[in-house]
Amino acid sequence: MTAVRATSTKTSAREPSASDGNGAAYGFTAYVIWGAFPLYFNALKPAGAWEVLSHRIVWTLVVCLVALAVTRNLSFLRRLAANPRQLVATSLAGLFIAVNWTVYIQAVITGHTVEAALGYFLNPLVTVGLGVVVLHERLRLLQWVAVGVGALACVYLAIDYGRPPWISIVLALSFASYGFMKKRIGGSLTAIESLTAESAVLTPIAIVVLIVVGMTGNSTFSGHGASHSLLLLAAGIVTAVPLLLFAAAASRVPLVTIGLLQFITPILQLLCGVLLLGEHMPFARWIGFGIVWVALVLLTFDSVKAGAHARRLARAAENCAI
């Protein structure tokens, strides 16, 4: 046990390395790709959200299975099937991310990209709140203030919209719940193994949806040109690549860096909605977003401060051990 602590301490107090730079680049690229998703999903019109979601699930599974076959790592499926608790957690994670994907795709293709972006700005605050409610975690003062400011922003935006920002709320809750289930799964599965399992759970439902869409004459896979078909087929690669880049980043850089990089995605989504997709953003709504950003600044400052404190303690422990 002492040896483990010593190793952990040295890791925490290590100096930045070339691996950190590569990790930051991987993370930056992943978040930029996710930030550009509104342009991709908008290009898939006239396909509906259910058709896009189903293609995304099926082709993601295909991409993952090919990658695992190449690396000869398909045996993890037997281990997962033999672990009912992990299988249930993975299935729930798959359902949460399916809800997230469905609402997000529907938001983009119906002209609500800005409201979707707000959901991902709110996600860190909802994640903190979920930790308090479900895991009974204790918050620091600044974290409480940030959550309070975030709640105030939701009330303000509900008044501005004339209704609660349901798209934002559902996206934030579903993604936070997905993160919670991933935490329950822990490090027992790699990123691609986890994505494969989640896609495998959802694929039977996705195939049924595609059959129904085809039987009702609403399928857009054929009849809208080869480019449209290729864009739907590319859904698997578009889903898998940024996730693998994110996994590579998470294993190389501190959590604080990941926390800062994550704001790239909703910022780009917001810019896509306002500048490229022509969505209207009244001044009053900018104020609401500004309140959310104040909450995120507080949360980020607290995270950086806590990380610096932890590193100081780690260096002190290392010096004492020497």
Token code pair at residue 84 = 């009912």
Indicate whether 191 pLDDT > 90. no
CB-CB contact of 16 with 253 (8 Å): no
Contacts of 193 (CB under 8 A, 6+ apart): 68, 73, 76, 80
What whole-number percentage of the chain has pLDDT above 90?
Answer: 41
How confident is the model over 101-113, as a mean pLDDT? 94
Average per-residue pLDDT for the chain: 85
What is the dihedral sign for C-alpha 60, 62, 66, 71?
A: positive
Exposed (0-12), middle (13-18) or buried (19+): which is 264, by Cβ within 10 Å?
A: middle
Query: What would the mean pLDDT of 60-77 be, rounded to a whole number?
Result: 89
The set of residues, in sequence order, having a beta carbon less than 8 Å from that of 241 and lying 6+ positions away, is: 33
Instruction: Please tell me which residue, 79 or 17, carries the higher pLDDT value.
Output: 79
What would the pLDDT profile of 36-55 be if each residue is shown by its tens digit? 999 999 999 999 999 999 99
Rounded Cα distance, 121 and 114, in Å: 11
Gap between the Cα atoms of 304 and 259, Å rounded: 9
% of the chain exceeding 70 in pLDDT: 88
Rg from Cα positions in the chain: 21
Question: Residue 8 pLDDT > 70, yes or no?
Answer: no
Asked whether the beta carbons of 231 and 43 are under 8 A apart, the reply is yes
Strand, coil or helix: 8: helix
Q: What is the DSSP letter of 189?
A: S
Cβ–Cβ < 8 Å for 144, 125: no
Give the integer Cα–Cα distance in Å for 19 and 272.
31
pLDDT value at 309 more than 70: no
Give residue 24's pLDDT.
84
Instruction: Tell me how far apart the alpha carbons of residues 153 and 144 are, in angstroms, rounded to a whole number.
Output: 14
Query: What three-state secondary structure class fits 13?
Result: coil
pLDDT at 3: 41
Cα 185 from Cα 87, distance rounded (Å): 9
pLDDT at 183: 77
- Asked whether the beta carbons of 149 and 291 are under 8 A apart, the reply is yes
**Domain ranges, ordered by start, for the chain:** 16-321
The pLDDT, as a whole number, for residue 13 is: 46
Q: Tokens 């800005």 identify what position?
A: 114
Instruction: In whole angstroms, give the CA distance from residue 135 to residue 262.
Output: 23
